[in-house]
Amino acid sequence: MRFLLVDSILELETGSRAVALKNISMSEDFLADHFPDRPIMPGVLILESLVQLADWVVRDASDFDKIGVASGFDRIKFRRVARPGDQLRLEVGLSSSDAGTHEFRGKAYSGDELAASANITMVEAPLADYLDAEAARASFAILRRDGDP
């Protein structure tokens, strides 16, 4: 199972911010048990989708030499449940950066309603320790919708 929680990247300002979408459908594996009669996306997975988007900002800014690994969270708030059929608009913005440690503010919206928010700390690690750089670039091109069809 691939654990990708960003479906498309709509905007990206290198080294600064990104906006993406996550579509929640009944085919998501996590909905089978959370909860069978009233499925909702677990809040921790909404948070993970924001982490994944922040990671793309780190990768892009380092020309795919580094990967962003979550190392801390602060001020996490869940305000609205996300259900099948919802589309989350994910937004992350870099608030500070120092010596390979990056602080992001992340927000997830369902329609005009804020569903979740958090401060996310990411530390850089060599991308090659985790992934093939060319495969990561190919995935990025698809998410940015500028890859080959």
- Please tell me the total count of domains within the chain: 1
Looking at residue 75, its pLDDT comes to 98
Q: Tell me if 52 sits within 8 A of 4, measured CB to CB.
A: yes
Any domain includes 30: yes
Q: Tell me if 118 sits within 8 A of 77, measured CB to CB.
A: yes
Any domain includes 130: yes
Q: Which domain holds residue 92?
A: 8-143
Q: What is the pTM of this model?
A: 0.95
Instruction: Check which CATH number belongs to the domain holding 72 and give it.
Output: 3.10.129.10
Any domain includes 148: no
Any domain includes 89: yes
Give the model confidence (pLDDT) of 33-91 as tens digits.
Answer: 888 889 999 999 999 999 999 999 999 999 999 999 999 999 999 999 999 999 999 99
- Look-up: residue for tokens 């940015």? 144
Predicted confidence band of residue 1 (pLDDT cuts 50, 70, 90): very low
When pLDDT is averaged across residues 114-130 and rounded to a whole number, the result is 97
Q: In the Cβ-directed half-sphere of 17, how many Cα atoms lie within 13 Å?
A: 10
When pLDDT is averaged across residues 18-33 and rounded to a whole number, the result is 93
Any domain includes 149: no
| Active site (catalytic) residues | 34
Instruction: State both tokens at 12.
Output: 């990206």
Any domain includes 1: no
